[in-house]
Amino acid sequence: MKNLDQEEVKKFNDIADRWWDETGEFKPLHQINPLRLAYIKDKCGVQGLKILDVGCGGGLLSEALSSLGAEVIAIDASENTIEVATAHGLKVNSKVTYIKTTIEELIDQNVHKDFDVVTCLEMLEHVPEPSQIVRCCSSLLKETGHAFFSTINRNPRSYLFAVIGAEYILNLLPKGTHDYSKFIKPSELASWIRSSDLSLENTVGLSYNPLTDHYWLSKDVQVNYMMHTVKALND
């Protein structure tokens, strides 16, 4: 069975044309993109590295990584989204290679592998088996390669902020964007990471002030958080 939620794919297909509208549904991703990019660059550098962006969406992170000199392959299961990402890439002369596929299918094709970096941001909470995605990301890394994951914690505060606040009060995201039952505790993600031959190097939170509309990296992982991992050496 494919590790794919067709309702999730349809949801993002339907709004794909709005990925690059910085004032629309994807405004929060535009706002946090510089923070994500800076975090990745700080942990492993970017220039000259071969990077796979899993669940790339409209290409916000993919393009940013490419602009810093990385060789980027970006994949997403949404056909409309990949079309939008590709079109925007042509418009700005980006060198990102976009592929409409899942990470499982990419592995089966056995063409693209041995990446220096794999990024999987804001994606794990949208698939039926997120632990499988973590294992797949690890399998595509070269030894000592870096993998980055970001998702949403599962607790009353995250439900209040990420669902009620973001979707129904502040209208930061379309209603129904997130399913609270799919949120992931840091301890759960850390366990999947350890069982996938990855070493957890760092965890950082992403905080938001609705009064100032400002995001920043912090030690608070109660809502959004990101993890930096490194592939273990084979004995």
pLDDT at 5 over 80: no
* Low-confidence winner among 7-11, 42-46, 56-60, 152-156 (lowest mean pLDDT): 7-11
What are the tokens at 86? 């590709």
**pTM of the shown model:** 0.93
State the amino acid at position 174 in one-letter form. P
Mean pLDDT of 40-66: 97
Q: How high is the pLDDT of residue 1?
A: 46
Q: What is the mean pLDDT of residues 207-232?
A: 96
Q: What is the DSSP letter of 223?
A: S
Residue indicated by tokens 């190097």: 201
| pLDDT one-digit tens code per residue, 77-100 | 999 999 999 999 999 999 999 999
Nearest residue to 77 via CA among 138, 172, 10: 10
Give the 3-state secondary structure of residue 71: strand
Backbone angles phi, psi at 127, to 5 degrees: -125, 155
> How confident is the model at residue 53, as a pLDDT?
98
- 209: its two tokens: 């002030």
pLDDT of residue 235: 58
By the 10 Å C-beta count (0-12 exposed, 13-18 middle, 19+ buried), 34 is classed as: exposed
Separation CA 228–CA 202 (nearest Å): 5
For the record, the structure tokens of 89 come out as 């890439």
6-231: which CATH topology? Rossmann fold (3.40.50)
